[in-house]
Amino acid sequence: MIRRVVIALVVVVGVAAPSAAQTKRPITVEDLWKVQRLGKPAISPDGKWVAVEVTTYSLDDNAGDSDLWLFSTDGKVRRQLTTAKGKDSGPAWSPDSKTIAFVSKRAGDVAQIHLIAPGGGEARQLSKLPMAPSGLKWAPDGKSVFCIVQTWPDTPDDESFKKKEKTRKDDKVQAYIIDDALYRYWDHWIADGKRPVIFRVDLESGQHTNLFAGLKLFLPVANASADSYDIAPDGKELCFTADSTKEIGMDFNLDLYTLALDANAMPQAAVKNLTTDNPVGDFNPVYSPDGKWLAYTRQAIKFFYADRSRLMLRDRDSGATRELTENLDRSVASLQWMADNQRLGFEAEDAGYRNIFFTSIKGNDAKKFPTPGVSEFAFDVARHTRLAAFLTTSFDLPATLFVHGPKGAARQLSHVNDDLVKQWDLGEVKNVAYKGADDEDVQMWIVHPPKFDPAKKWPLLMIIHGGPHNGITTDFHFRWNLHLFASKGYVVACPNFHGSSGFGQKFTDSITGDMSTKPFIDVMKATDYMEALPYIDKDRTAAAGASYGGFMMAWINGHTDRYKALVCHAGVYNWHSMMASDIVRSRERPLGAMPWGDLKQIDKQSPQRFAANFKTPTLIMHGEKDFRVPVTQGFEYYNTLRIKGVPTRLVYFPDENHWVMKPQNSRLWHREFFAWIEKYIGSGPTR
């Protein structure tokens, strides 16, 4: 008997049907590595050019190369600007639009800042740093370039750094003696004591200065980037983000500090904390072009990474601060001032899309600039004209460069992947809503396989996203590509369950204290919805997920046997042993307790406690360098299934982190994934 399902919303956002003259084929894993991947655009201040880092990969070499490309904003010229083997990255324009600074290893083992004219020619090396730079920004007068480097607080000059670096490398003992609560992050150790600080490199001499020498401050150790600092338009002040807590990892409180760039100012006297009023997080400062305002983002809930990021505005003269996005129940990111000093642009997730929004400095008037069916992000604004460059993407389209001005439609500039995309036979994509936990609407993406025939019965593959506070937006994904999954003959469904971002703070925070119940209900009801469709073979269903989605695979295994097979990548299995993760101080709020506190509270959310019920065949994949969900989580789950006699297989990557990033590892990952699903539910329509 088929249950009645009420569809609240159906929007078709897939590609148009190909003409008979076109030869189409399903997308393959090899195609993911043929796609040329575009980095964040950098538009010249005069608005005439856009520089973009373009990365190409080789499956045979198992590596990628990055070059800089240049696109004229009138769409007439596009050319490769750099050709050296290796990685040329992070383009930044000089204020006069005549020079591009970028980072490259072309001159040796240590990456350096290089300069090149947009007209081409040989790049020249600017810096002579003993450590690699990143996050480049030009001084407003064009006489120097700022950058982020990793150094020790007690090595303020080159000689002391080189001496300590050599001593550590030559030491026969490579042990770490650790006192900090945060000592490794994602896939690398930070227990060596190096910290990210800002250097200034003089354009004429190439000499560099450590601006943080003697400050006893540093940028966020986990994710320092060009967004972590900005330079005032008059060049007299630097604003940066630093953690003001006494011990990193025990507490988290990012504050905004200003540093006077007057050469006569003493370091400590030149520093001021602007955000002592907020004990949580203030970050990503951006000065207005006229220097009157400082915009930044703020969070207000302690130990909750998914708290709404608010757009704040500070009057630099009076110090008065106010929020501009009280009317917007979304998290803002990537702030950009418009040239008129009256408006700001930013990015935000909204109901399954990434959109660009704008607000005036009056506040509470945020509006989005949507293009139906796609996500738009990574935008950059020209300084002297009303023009912005940004990337457009969807499930069907790899990131593509566009520009937009005050008049007319957005204009596509990059075409590097056009010929490849034209070859793909991609199924229809649907955006639907169904009733989930608490009878609330839950959004879900459905992707049909190529040559889909609704008169036939098709196997169902449920994809459960990670986070859990990371909604699935329409993006061309290189690790969990829904079209690639569908290409093997599956109808793919991916719900944005309770807790997902992009649907308001109440929805995001609705799973706090209970990380499993509502998402599980949402996944079950999503599966009910799909199995009630006349073209789904409900006897051929499987599910897969990574990170939190991997957690849900283990949770599902302990609570239902409705799926014929499961795939768990980098999944949380045991909340008690997740104390080995990189960041553990923030576990208490989402779980409702620490493992040594209310054990019942932790146990009721831990899949390991329901191992007696495990029955479903499960493929487990995990990377050794995964410090976010340590590899032992996968080992624990695999060993449990193996001892219980539940069919299982472990695919272990000694050289991968939380993600699978290398081309040949990716090919193996997909081969094992599809073989496991094929074994238990076959592929293609039921015969």
Q: Cα 138 to chain center, whole Å? A: 25
Place 11 in a pLDDT band, splitting at 50, 70 and 90: very low
| Strand (E) or helix (H) holding 487 | helix 482-487
Taking only the tens place, the pLDDT of each residue in 132-174 is 999 999 999 999 999 999 999 999 899 999 999 999 999 999 9
Residue 445 exposure: Cα atoms within 13 Å on the Cβ side: 28
Q: Assign domain 9-15+421-681 to its CATH superfamily.
A: Alpha/Beta hydrolase fold, catalytic domain (3.40.50.1820)
Please, are residues 586 and 521 in contact by the beta-carbon 8 Å criterion? no
Contacts of 594 (CB under 8 A, 6+ apart): 587, 588, 602
pLDDT score of 19 more than 90:
no
Contacts of 108 (CB under 8 A, 6+ apart): none
pTM of the model: 0.94
Percent of the chain with pLDDT over 70: 96
The secondary structure of residue 523, as a DSSP letter, is: H
Phi and psi dihedrals of 668, rounded to 5? Answer: -65, -45
Across the range 322-328, mean pLDDT stands at 97
Please, are residues 95 and 141 in contact by the beta-carbon 8 Å criterion? yes
SS3 sequence of 406-466: CCCCCEECCCCCHHHHCCECCCCEEEEEEECHHHCEEEEEEECCCCCCCCCCEEEEEEECC
Ramachandran area for residue 613 (φ above 0: left; ψ -120 to 50: alpha; else beta): alpha
Taking only the tens place, the pLDDT of each residue in 586-602 is 899 999 999 898 999 99
* Dist CA 212 CA 225 (whole Å): 16
pLDDT score of 102 more than 70:
yes
Taking only the tens place, the pLDDT of each residue in 340-397 is 999 999 999 999 999 999 999 999 999 998 788 999 999 999 999 999 999 999 999 9
DSSP-based three-state secondary structure for 390: strand
Contacts of 169 (CB under 8 A, 6+ apart): none
* Dist CA 668 CA 651 (whole Å): 9
Residue spans of the domains in the chain: they are 9-15+421-681
DSSP alpha helices (H): ranges in 4-121?
A: 29-34
| Strand (E) or helix (H) holding 170 | helix 158-170
Please, are residues 610 and 589 in contact by the beta-carbon 8 Å criterion? no
Question: Mean pLDDT for the chain?
Answer: 94
Instruction: Output the pLDDT for position 684.
Output: 97
**Angle, CA of 100, 104 and 108, to the nearest 5°:** 140
Instruction: Output the pLDDT for position 270.
Output: 82
Taking only the tens place, the pLDDT of each residue in 513-560 is 999 999 999 999 999 999 999 999 999 999 999 999 999 999 999 999
